[in-house]
């Protein structure tokens, strides 16, 4: 609930600190005293647009701070705070602050932590409901009617949301699979042609490197072929150098025993023959390794060209061609087996759709019956509020399938007819300002056990009525606020009716005073004596009479 409101330099308010409590609090004062300034200030701290015109004349800026006390934060507020990653300790008051500069700039804070104004607007509906003469939010806004009816009915909103997500998830998977199969089928002929080409080419991983190395060796062999041939000629044949060495070694071998130098010469010559033989062997192996075959070189170069052309065509490296072939086979297999997979996905989507439809049908019936109960409950409140001729109807309309959603298949709207025989229409389009406020009060009373904002404010709900109707309004406001002894609620009413003011648990008086050219608005919490005097003023006008004071006593004693 709203526990404290502090205002600095807002229009006619220089400095104001107000403490609030549970129950019904009433705010009274003469016309033009500044009641709307309080609501504008509260709206500012709840995220309304920053208007530099709110800054008190001559001041650089203004500020509004609102404190809320909760035993446990409302789920909507807790979720928004968690999403914003703010640190709020359990049981800690929720303190909203808005600073406004004279040039129109503003800053927002939540428990002294800077936040965006959008966060204040997001949590505002769970904190404060304001119902005024021309209010287009809260119960008047049809977008919130379905949620209100669901709370009244005790609907399993979480269940229908989960069923909707399951259905949409299954349908999304099915749609994606269908699109994939359709795209693959369009490319099936091209894939088959590409795969046939690659199968004929039969690329192997590492093949490019091997072919390139072989081509390099053969190209070297081509360059060295003349030199190798000349060298092989020197080492082969009966007239080669190696043959001469061997002949010399044989001849020397016959006479080596004649002198030790001849033996040494033979040993040296044998070593030369051995080295020359090794050289001959290596030349033969080199010639074999570097052998140049024009036909083989042409085959290798053609193979390399084909492999590299295929790689360019498919946008990959040559070594990746086998993987591309595997991908193509996988896609083609998916095309061939895609229909069987689609059948399974279609069955899953159908099951999810059926589960959702069953939940939505049950929810529709629950809403329809709850709507009837709500209509009866609201109807019981209309006559005492001088709305005897009016009728209330909760419209629950089944939507076409394309408009179903996470909240079911229904559109819900509160409708009224203010005159006998008149058609039902939305609240805001039919009711006048006073009627609209009383309709909202009747709805709030009927929905009192179903939750809502922590603090509810009615702005001049009693305008244009008096006597028994004003008393009925006051009684219902008090009941709605919990002043009937049950406690727990908080409701503030800006009122001109003494019958409503007498029902308040706390009474605040708004007054305007002037000192020279300076005008100020102040708000004071009245004690019992001042409260009687204020209600007497409301009864009699400018001059408070003894009769008015006596009537004020009777009103207060009759509460």
Residue-by-residue DSSP string for 1-56: -EEEEEEEEETTEEEEEEE--SEEEEEE--TTSSHHHHHHHHHHHTTPPP-GGGBP
- The CA distance from 245 to 257, in Å, is 19
Q: In whole angstroms, how far apart are CA 463 and each of 88, 101, 458, 460? A: 41, 35, 11, 6
CA angle, corner 177, sides to 171 and 178, nearest 5?
90
Q: Write the burial class of residue 101 (CB in 10 Å: 0-12 exposed, 13-18 middle, 19+ buried).
A: middle
**Integer Cα distance of 527 and 512 in angstroms:** 19
Q: Please list, in sequence order, all residues whose beta carbon lies within 8 angstroms of the beta carbon of residue 406, skipping any fewer than 6 positions away.
A: 160, 161, 164, 165
Give me the pLDDT at residue 237, please. 59
Q: What is the pTM of this model?
A: 0.63
Question: Of 369, 346, 349, whose CA–CA distance to 357 is shortest?
Answer: 349
Tell me the C-alpha distance between 119 and 110, whole Å: 9
Two structure tokens written together for 110: 């939540």
- 318 and 311 Cβ atoms separated by less than 8 Å: yes
Inter-residue contact 490 to 453 (CB < 8 Å): no
> Token pair for residue 318?
């040559």
Q: How far apart are CA 13 and CA 29, in angstroms?
A: 15
Question: What pLDDT is stored for residue 396 in this prediction?
Answer: 96
> Look-up: residue for tokens 């019958």?
499
Q: Which two tokens stand for residue 375?
A: 């209509």
Element (H, E) at 468: helix 467-481
pLDDT of residue 482: 76
Q: Do 132 and 78 form a contact (C-beta atoms < 8 A)?
A: no
Distances (CA, A) of 126 to 33, 95, 315: 29, 14, 58
How many of the other CB atoms lie within 10 Å of CB of 455?
23
Those residues whose C-beta lies under 8 Å from the C-beta of residue 459, and which sit 6 or more positions away, are 35, 39, 130, 131, 132, 133, 135, 437, 494
- Residue from 529, 548, 546 nearest 537 by CA: 548
- Confidence (pLDDT) at 79: 87
d(CA 476, CA 472) in angstroms, rounded, equals: 6
CA distance 62 to 104: 10
Here the tokens at position 313 are: 């065509």
93 close to 67: Cβ distance less than 8 angstroms: yes
How far CA 318 is from CA of 193, 303, 326, 389, 552, in Å, comes to: 19, 12, 14, 87, 100
Q: What is the pLDDT of residue 116?
A: 93
The residue among 402, 464, 457 whose CA lies nearest residue 431 is 464
* Three-state DSSP class for residue 493: strand
List Cα–Cα distances, 12 to 7, 31, 495, in angstroms.
11, 14, 20
Contact between 536 and 544 under an 8 Å Cβ cutoff? The reply is yes
CA distance 442 to 392: 10
Mean pLDDT by groups of 10 residues along the chain of 559 residues: 92 91 89 81 91 89 93 84 85 92 90 92 88 60 85 88 95 89 77 90 90 80 62 64 76 80 83 80 71 78 90 91 89 74 90 96 96 93 85 94 94 88 78 70 75 80 78 86 59 90 92 80 91 90 82 84
- Radius of gyration (C-alpha) of the chain in whole angstroms: 48
The CA distance from 144 to 131, in Å, is 14
- Rounded CA-CA distance 29/452 in Å is 28
pLDDT, position 166: 96
Alpha-carbon distance of 492 to 436, in angstroms, equals 18
Cα 307 to chain center, whole Å? 50
β-pairing, 506-515 with 23-28?
parallel
22/330 Cα distance (integer angstroms): 69
Place of tokens 């052309």: 309
**Could you tell me which residues come within 8 angstroms of residue 429 by beta carbon, excluding any fewer than 6 positions away?**
none
Give the sign of the dihedral formed by CA 497, CA 499, CA 504, CA 510.
Answer: positive
């Amino acid at each position: 609930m709203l526990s404290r409101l502090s205002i600095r330099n807002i229009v006619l308010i220089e400095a104001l600190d107000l403490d609030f409590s549970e129950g019904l609090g009433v705010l009274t004062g003469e016309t033009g005293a500044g009641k709307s300034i309080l609501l504008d200030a509260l709206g500012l701290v709840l995220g309304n647009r920053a208007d530099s015109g709110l800054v008190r004349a001559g001041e650089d800026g203004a500020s509004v701070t609102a404190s809320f006390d909760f035993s446990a934060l409302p789920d909507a507020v807790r979720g928004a705070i968690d999403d914003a990653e703010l640190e709020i300790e359990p049981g800690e008051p929720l303190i909203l602050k808005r600073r406004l500069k004279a040039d129109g700039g503003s800053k927002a804070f939540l428990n002294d932590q800077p936040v965006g104004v959008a966060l204040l607007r997001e949590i505002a509906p769970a904190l404060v409901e304001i119902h005024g003469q021309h209010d287009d939010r809260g119960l008047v806004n049809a977008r919130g009617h379905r949620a209100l009816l669901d709370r009244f009915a005790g609907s399993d909103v979480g269940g229908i949301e989960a069923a909707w997500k399951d259905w949409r998830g299954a349908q999304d998977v099915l749609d994606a699979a269908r699109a994939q199969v359709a795209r693959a089928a369009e490319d099936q002929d091209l894939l088959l042609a590409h795969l046939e080409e690659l199968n004929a080419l039969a690329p192997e991983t590492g093949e490019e490197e091997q072919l390139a190395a072989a081509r390099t060796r053969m190209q070297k062999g081509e360059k060295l072929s003349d030199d190798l041939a000349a060298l092989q000629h020197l080492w082969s044949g009966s007239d080669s150098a190696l043959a001469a060495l061997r002949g010399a070694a044989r001849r020397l071998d016959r006479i080596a025993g004649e002198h030790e130098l001849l033996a040494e010469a033979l040993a040296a010559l044998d070593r030369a023959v051995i080295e020359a033989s090794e050289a001959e062997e290596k030349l033969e192996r080199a010639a074999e390794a570097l052998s140049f075959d024009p036909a083989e070189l042409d085959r290798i170069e053609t193979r390399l060209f084909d492999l590299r052309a295929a790689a360019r065509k498919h946008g990959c490296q040559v070594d990746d061609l086998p993987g591309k072939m595997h991908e193509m086979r996988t896609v083609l297999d998916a095309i061939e087996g895609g229909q069987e997979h689609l059948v399974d996905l279609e069955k899953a989507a159908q099951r999810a759709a059926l589960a959702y439809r069953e939940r939505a049908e049950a929810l529709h019936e629950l809403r329809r019956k709850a709507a009837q109960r709500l209509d009866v409950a609201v109807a019981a409140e209309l006559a005492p509020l001088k709305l005897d001729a009016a009728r209330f109807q909760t419209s629950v309309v089944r939507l076409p399938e394309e408009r179903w959603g996470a909240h079911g298949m229904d559109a819900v709207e509160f409708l009224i007819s203010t005159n006998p025989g008149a058609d039902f229409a939305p609240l805001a389009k039919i009711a006048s300002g006073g009627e609209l406020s009383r309709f909202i009060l009747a709805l709030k009373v009927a929905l009192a056990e179903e939750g809502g904002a922590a603090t509810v404010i009615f702005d001049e709900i009693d305008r244009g009525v008096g006597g028994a109707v004003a008393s009925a309004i006051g009684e219902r406001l008090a009941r709605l606020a919990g002043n009937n002894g049950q406690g727990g609620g908080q409701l503030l009413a800006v009122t001109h009716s003494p019958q409503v003011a007498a029902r308040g648990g706390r009474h605040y008086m708004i007054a305007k005073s002037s000192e020279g050219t300076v005008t100020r608005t102040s708000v004071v919490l009245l004690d019992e004596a001042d409260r009687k005097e204020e209600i007497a003023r409301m009864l009699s006008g400018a001059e408070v009479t003894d009769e008015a004071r006596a009537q004020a006593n009777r009103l207060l004693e009759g509460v």
